[in-house]
């Protein structure tokens, strides 16, 4: 089930988050499940496309936790969403901050295969990009989160009416009942 939660944070806070993102180190070109050789061939080849950029600030699987305001903001967003959703959150598993430029072309993918994980995309500003989930398009509206099972096929869509698109992607482990 796909769920949309609106008005999570004020736009002024979202702008502060973007300013922190602009100053942050460790951005990398997203691979979207592709190998490095394929990515290199596409970047320097005739298509010149990339898959956007990601900044991992927290990932249980990879043992990453970067101290600082970005994880604090992500945790606040997580807690607000947890309070307003019908899903039963157990704990966050990953915080990825994403940036797509106008030429980014991401690939359809699943965040996890198992059915006890939930993903959400939290949009930091308004633009005409968005997220396509199982062929349904969700426009990037500021302070809005789109929640969906992590094993749903989805793809990030870059904006054409702004130079870029910023968002937070979070994977959440859900409570499992026996």
> How far is residue 132's CA from residue 30's CA, in Å, rounded to a whole number?
17
Question: What is the CATH architecture of 3-31+40-174?
Answer: Sandwich (2.60)
Q: Tell whether pTM > 0.95.
A: no
Q: 151-160, pLDDT tens digit by residue?
A: 999 999 999 8
Q: 98-133, pLDDT tens digit by residue?
A: 999 988 888 899 999 999 999 999 999 999 999 999
Q: 134-168, pLDDT tens digit by residue?
A: 999 999 999 999 999 999 999 999 998 888 999 99
Tell how strand 130-133 and strand 154-157 pair up.
Answer: antiparallel
**Beta bridge mates, 130:** 139, 157
Domain boundaries, the chain: 3-31+40-174
> How far is residue 81's CA from residue 91's CA, in Å, rounded to a whole number?
12
């Amino acid at each position: 089930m796909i769920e949309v939660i609106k008005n999570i944070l004020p736009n002024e806070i979202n702008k502060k988050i973007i300013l922190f993102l602009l100053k942050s180190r460790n951005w990398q070109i997203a691979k979207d499940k592709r190998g490095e050789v394929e990515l290199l061939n596409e970047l320097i080849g005739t298509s010149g496309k990339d898959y956007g950029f990601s900044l991992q600030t927290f990932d249980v699987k990879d043992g990453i936790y970067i101290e600082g305001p970005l994880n604090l903001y992500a945790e606040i967003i997580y807690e607000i969403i947890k309070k307003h959703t019908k899903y039963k959150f157990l704990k966050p598993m990953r915080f990825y901050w994403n940036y797509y430029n106008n030429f980014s072309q991401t690939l359809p993918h699943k965040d996890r295969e198992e059915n006890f994980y939930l993903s959400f995309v939290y949009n930091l500003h308004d633009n005409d990009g968005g997220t396509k989930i199982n062929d349904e398009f969700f426009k990037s509206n500021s302070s809005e989160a789109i929640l969906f099972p992590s094993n749903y096929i989805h793809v990030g869509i870059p904006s054409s009416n702004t130079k870029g698109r910023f968002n937070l992607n979070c994977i959440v482990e859900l409570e499992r009942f026996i």
